[in-house]
Amino acid sequence: MTMHNLPMTRQARAMLAAGARIQRKDAGDPFELLSEKFGEHTAEVMRKLGEADEKMAGFAARLLDIQQRADRASYAGGSGGQVPTWGDQVLRSAQFRNFADGGRNAKTRIPVETKATITSADFPVVPDADREIITQGRRPLLVRSLLGSANTTSNAISYRRETGFTNAAAPVAEGALKPESAITFEEVTAPVRTLAHWIKLSRQVLDDDAQLRSEIDTVLRYGLAFVVEGQLLHGDGTGQNLNGLIPQSTDFDETRRAAGDTAFDILLKAISQSEEADYPATGAIISTRDWYAMMGIKDTEGRYIGGGPLADIPGRVWRLPVAPSNAMPVGNFIVGALDLAAKVYSRTDATIELGYVNDDFTRNLVTVLGEERLALAVRRPEAIVYGSFTAP
């Protein structure tokens, strides 16, 4: 097999043809001539690669120049002592310029400046929002639950209260004159009183925070009920005050008291006083402190006379429901036929209303009003016994 039959590329065949001509002209070695041509070709390729490198270096230099001009324009506005970004520092460094000018094959380290300390001021943290509202203390309001209740559409309640009864009932002989009894009444008027308060809020609060809006509604209603309980007990009937239970009650009969009486003994005797007046007792109102002191009383062997700390029993004393109240003075009590003797008439239940007052509209504010209208009628004062656990 001859060399002419070997598969060759077009370039190889051209070089061999050129060698053949040279061989015929100069009678030289064809393989030496072929090697020389390959060397010339390699040099030409390397020259073109060098030109490409120079173009890339020029491109990098122009890119650096553009970046530097942009940086100067950016910092010309007075950025003060602002530390350039890491990218800015790399492009500006001498190491990068050397690298761009042809030192790409060298190992190059480019220093980057950073602040000494990174604090929360550099990276502000957005706090989580806990929308739960922990309210102020709110006492149980139980006094009203022991009284009678009704509604009214008027601004006052007029009722008759019996003030005397002469009972002349007796056996009568046939044909004899029958005895006459006598009953006297007095006309009493209990005016409907208005209890109210208000707060000012922004429209944004009402529109954006449903939980806060609900809490405001609850607080305003509680504020009304808080004052109502105090009025039911202590209102003196003057001005716009209700005429409460204590000012109209019957005093505890001190002749019933004996040496060594406990709080339970005094309550039992007050219940007896009410029922001896033909008004069966239906409830008791005691101060919160006195009630818990009574629940903690022990016998001579150290056992709780009540249910004890683990008992789950309703608040009752001598079978009567108890309404512990911080509005009741410590050391005092009320016992009697409370649902019969006193009645709360509701003209308007506690309501919450929103409206504009004065310049609220232009200030984007809202006035929130809580209001209740009611009257208290004490029909049988003798059915309400008020006294003290200790002797006067």
Task: Please provide the average confidence, as pLDDT, over all residues in the chain.
Answer: 80
- Given a cut of 60, whether residue 189 has pLDDT beyond it is yes
Measured distance CA(243)–CA(377) in Å, rounded: 8
The share of the chain scoring above pLDDT 90, in percent, equals 40
Query: Going by CATH, does the domain composed of 143-172+180-388 fall within 3.30.2400.10?
Result: yes
What pLDDT shows up at residue 242? 95
Average pLDDT rounded to a whole number, residues 374-391: 93
- Cα–Cα distance measured from residue 323 to residue 246, given in angstroms and rounded to the nearest whole number: 15
Amino acid identity at 7: P
pLDDT category of residue 103 using cuts at 50, 70 and 90 = low
**Among all chains, which residue has been given the structure tokens 């009630």?**
291
| Phi, psi angles (nearest 5°) of residue 41 | -65, -45
Can you list the alpha helix ranges (DSSP code H) found in 76-152? 86-92, 94-100
pLDDT at 312 (0 to 100): 80
Tens-digit pLDDT profile for residues 17-45: 555 444 444 445 665 666 666 667 666 76
Q: What is the arithmetic mean of pLDDT over 374-386?
A: 93
Sheet holding 365-378, edge to edge: 148-151, 342-355, 365-378, 193-202
Report in angstroms the alpha-carbon separations of 99 from 89, 102, 110, 133, 329.
14, 6, 10, 63, 91
Once rounded to an integer, what is the mean pLDDT over residues 132-139? Answer: 69
Q: How many CB atoms lie within 10 A of CB 374?
A: 26
pLDDT given at position 317: 92
Cβ distance 285 to 146 under 8 Å? yes
Q: Are 229 and 141 in contact (CB under 8 A)?
A: yes
For the stretch 106-124, pLDDT in tens is: 555 656 555 556 565 655 6
Report pLDDT digits (tens) over 226-241.
Answer: 999 999 999 999 999 9
**pLDDT score recorded for residue 3:** 45
Quickly list H helices, 254-336: 263-276, 288-295
314: pLDDT confidence band, cut at 50, 70 and 90?
confident
Q: Is the pLDDT of residue 176 over 80?
A: yes
Characterize 269-296 residue by residue with b for buried, 16 or more Cβ atoms within 10 angstroms of its Cβ, and e for exposed.
bbbbbbeeeebebbbbbbbbebbeebbe
Q: What is the pTM of this model?
A: 0.64
pLDDT the model gives residue 98:
66
Task: Check residue 199 and give its pLDDT.
Answer: 87
pLDDT value of residue 307: 80
Which pLDDT value is given to residue 6? 46
> Residue 347 carries which side chain, given as an amino acid letter?
R
DSSP state of 178: P
Residue 360 — pLDDT band, cuts 50, 70, 90? confident
pLDDT for the residue 8: 53
Give me the residue label for tokens 């019996």.
162
Burial class (CB in 10 A: 0-12, 13-18, 19+), 152: middle
- Rounded to an integer, what distance in angstroms lies between the CA atom of residue 335 and that of residue 189? 24
347 is written with which tokens? 């003209």
Query: What burial class does residue 327 get, using C-beta atoms within 10 Å of its C-beta: 0-12 exposed, 13-18 middle, 19+ buried?
Result: buried
| Mean pLDDT for the stretch of residues 94-105 | 61
Residue with the bigger pLDDT between 315 and 211: it is: 315
Q: What is the pLDDT of residues 32-86, one digit of tens each?
A: 666 666 667 666 766 776 666 666 666 667 766 766 666 665 555 444 455 566 5
Q: 207 pLDDT band (50/70/90 cuts)?
A: confident
Q: Is the pLDDT of residue 341 over 70?
A: yes
Task: Measure the N-to-C terminal CA separation of the chain; round to a whole number of Å.
Answer: 145
Mean pLDDT of 146-174: 89
Distance between CA atoms of residues 293 and 287, nearest Å:
10
23 vs 16: CA distance, rounded Å: 10
